[in-house]
Structure 1
Amino acid sequence: MITDKEREAVTGWFSGRLPDEWTVEPPRVSIDREEVTVVLTIPDVGDEVSGDAEPSEVAVAEARAGRARAFREDTRERRMKIAREAQHRYERKVSWGVRVGDHEELWTHVSAPVMTRLRQPQRQVLDTLVEAGVARSRADALAWCVRLVGQHEGDWLAELRDAMTAVDDVRRKGPAA
């Protein structure tokens, strides 16, 4: 499990290492055993979308996608240098993403294999998702299920992570083995 101290250290390092002109708010940094994901929020598009007229949703969406693409290309060399430093320092791959208004995209990310044993009723759930066209394979179906739980159980998962952190704190304060 990643401790709060580790999470704070990584977030602090990226906050200090990233150029100020890259973001309009602090980076969103998430970390697990394999990967550090850094999502940068850059300035939203403004009146430049369509001049004096009210821009359409399509025009704004395309302008945001274009700004994200330009940012990716313009910052690639420096981001890769920062990623190499962080990978050496934290022994994890670094993935990048950007948010412009309500447009968010990840450019790189790690897909880590996970092994699990499922009984027939759970396999049937996955097979139903595949047969319905929700997923291409059992692996995709399982990933879909995990995303769904993450979306709908965010508060519960946050509470569970807090409880695990509290247990780790109690263990550290206990007698040394």
Structure 2
Amino acid sequence: MPPSSTAVRKTVEAYLGRHPGERDALAELLGALDRPVDTTARTTLPEHVTCSAVVIDRQGRVLHIRHRATGGLILAPGGYIEPQDRTLLAAAVREVTEEAGIPPDALCLTRQLLGSPIDIDVHGIDASPSKGEPAHRHYDVRYAFYLSGEEPPTIALQDEEVSGAQ
């Protein structure tokens, strides 16, 4: 069962406690959380929540992958929340595992945030007639992880969604 609107609101409000200047940018998301809709569902329009994982190695390098769905944009691993994701954090971990093949036990949360998002990015998504989707907004909840091992794990890209990594 995906996170409830109450759980998403709690995450957003905690984030806004650290970044109060972003309240206006997230006002529409807060309004959507007051409506009886599942803001984590891909079909909820004109906006919905997605999750990403910012993966940092011991040298301070950040993993970026080339997403096919975005026309090849280079972004952090991430995507839609699935029904089996119990939390937003779990969705971010699942996405990095699916897209880059990095197992959950290779990831450590940052001490400073203890599992709180480092960013909530608001960005527009172009219409996709082939998917029957109109233009809409993503509220991408981004979590930071350090790699736990001395050596970075082998990257195993999910071919249908990802075309490269750096």
Using structure 1 for the length normalisation, give the TM-score: 0.23
Larger Rg: 1
Using structure 2 for the length normalisation, give the TM-score: 0.24
User: Which structure has the higher relative contact order (CA within 8 Å, separation 6+)?
Assistant: 2
Structure that is richer in helix per residue = 1
